[in-house]
Amino acid sequence: MQHNKTLRDWIIMYLKIVIGAAFYAAGFQFFLYPNAITTGGLTGVAMIINYLTGLPVGVLTLIMNVPLFIYSWKKFGIHFIIASLVGTILASVFVDLFALTKLEMTHEPLLGAIYGGIIKGFGLGLVYHTGATTGGVDIPAKFLRRKYQHINFSTFILAMDVVIIAAFAIIFKRYDSAMYAIICMYIASKVIDLVLYGAINSKVCYIITDRSAEIKDGLVNKLHRGVTFLHGKGAWSGEEKDIILCVIKQSQIVELKHLVRAIDENAFVIVSDSREVFGQGFSYIGDEG
């Protein structure tokens, strides 16, 4: 977390944590719990214990989070710990408060899994966007994310949640609920990524052509996109040529295809998704998230 935040930044950050914790708790308590769909993580463990003993899920989750916060104190610093502690406490409190309402939105497990996953994922995404977590497997996931930065944060969470879901299914012989839980986890992970990274709306294009100068002019003048030349050499032919590197909006992909085809039908074009792009014409590199 950054230490040069203004008072307004801190207020917005903690407001996101409050709202995110409320959405997370609502998704769990109103959609998942009534349909015996475990959420994975420590909340999932707490749900298993709750089914066996009747102890409150929120209180159990808080107790199990204590050693994790103690362990991560020196690793992530005081700001992370405080923000995550707030998120964890609020999520646990909201879960138990919402339980008092006795409100159950649906008893159709598939609907519970879908909408519970969406609402829970949105809430977690808001909390993660601040750099905090709601405790549980989020903390070890953050450790792993630091080491394996090419893997999305939500992927680590999804993998660890599967273990808890499997335990729930085996203990209570609720294999159908476990299947619904996998659907919920998958949906939640996608919503988390959407909140954290936004929709993929940019494409990275590599264009290998003998008419690079003409295609460059078309990209700059017609699509109004910046272009970079990379020096390339064919391994088989030994021929040297410029490779065009260009980042475009997803809405421009058809225009790019038409432009390249009109100039060089034999051009070799590689188009791939770009999760985030910073710079002129795209996101500002100083944006939080």
Query: For the chain, how many structural domains are there in total?
Result: 2
Looking at residues 197-225, what average pLDDT do you find?
A: 85
Looking at residues 120-145, what average pLDDT do you find?
A: 83
Using the predicted structure, report yes or no on whether residue 279 has a pLDDT greater than 60: no
Using the predicted structure, report yes or no on whether residue 186 has a pLDDT greater than 80: yes
State whether 182 and 215 are in the same domain.
no
Look at residues 197, 221, 238 and tell me which one is the last residue of a structural domain. 197
Task: Give per-residue pLDDT as tens, 157-168.
Answer: 778 888 888 888
Q: Would you say residue 283 lies in a domain?
A: no
State whether 172 and 252 are in the same domain.
no
Q: Would you say residue 285 lies in a domain?
A: no
Using the predicted structure, report yes or no on whether residue 235 has a pLDDT greater than 90: no
C-beta of residue 120 within 8 angstroms of C-beta of residue 39: yes
Confidence of residue 287 (pLDDT cuts 50, 70, 90): very low
Q: Would you say residue 175 lies in a domain?
A: yes
Looking at residues 61-88, what average pLDDT do you find?
A: 82
State whether 191 and 230 are in the same domain.
no
Higher-confidence residue of 277 and 176: namely 176
- Average pLDDT of the chain? 85
State whether 115 and 219 are in the same domain.
no
Strand bridging mode 228-233 / 268-274: unpaired
Looking at residues 223-246, what average pLDDT do you find?
A: 85
Q: Would you say residue 244 lies in a domain?
A: yes
DSSP annotation of 136: T
pLDDT value of residue 288: 45
State whether 163 and 244 are in the same domain.
no
Question: Nearest-5° angle of CA 92, CA 98, CA 101?
Answer: 155
Higher-confidence residue of 250 and 32: namely 32
State whether 186 and 249 are in the same domain.
no
Looking at residues 222-242, what average pLDDT do you find?
A: 84
Q: Would you say residue 1 lies in a domain?
A: no
Looking at residues 74-88, what average pLDDT do you find?
A: 82
DSSP-based three-state secondary structure for 286: coil
C-beta of residue 275 within 8 angstroms of C-beta of residue 200: yes
State whether 155 and 259 are in the same domain.
no
Q: Would you say residue 104 lies in a domain?
A: yes
Using the predicted structure, report yes or no on whether residue 211 has a pLDDT greater than 60: yes
pLDDT value of residue 41: 80
Looking at residues 7-34, what average pLDDT do you find?
A: 93
Cα 165 from Cα 261, distance rounded (Å): 50
State whether 122 and 19 are in the same domain.
yes
Looking at residues 194-210, what average pLDDT do you find?
A: 81
What range defines the domain where residue 169 resides?
7-197
State whether 62 and 187 are in the same domain.
yes
pLDDT value of residue 281: 53
Look at residues 165, 182, 197 and tell me which one is the last residue of a structural domain. 197
Look at residues 134, 164, 197 and tell me which one is the last residue of a structural domain. 197
Per the rule left: phi > 0, alpha: psi between -120 and 50, beta: everything else, 238 is left
Block residue for tokens 């609720």: 174
Q: Would you say residue 287 lies in a domain?
A: no
State whether 65 and 169 are in the same domain.
yes
DSSP annotation of 30: I
Cα 94 from Cα 216, distance rounded (Å): 56
Q: What is the CATH number of the domain that holds 263?
A: 3.30.70.120
State whether 125 and 69 are in the same domain.
yes
State whether 18 and 52 are in the same domain.
yes
- Dihedral pair phi/psi, residue 141, rounded to 5°: -65, -35
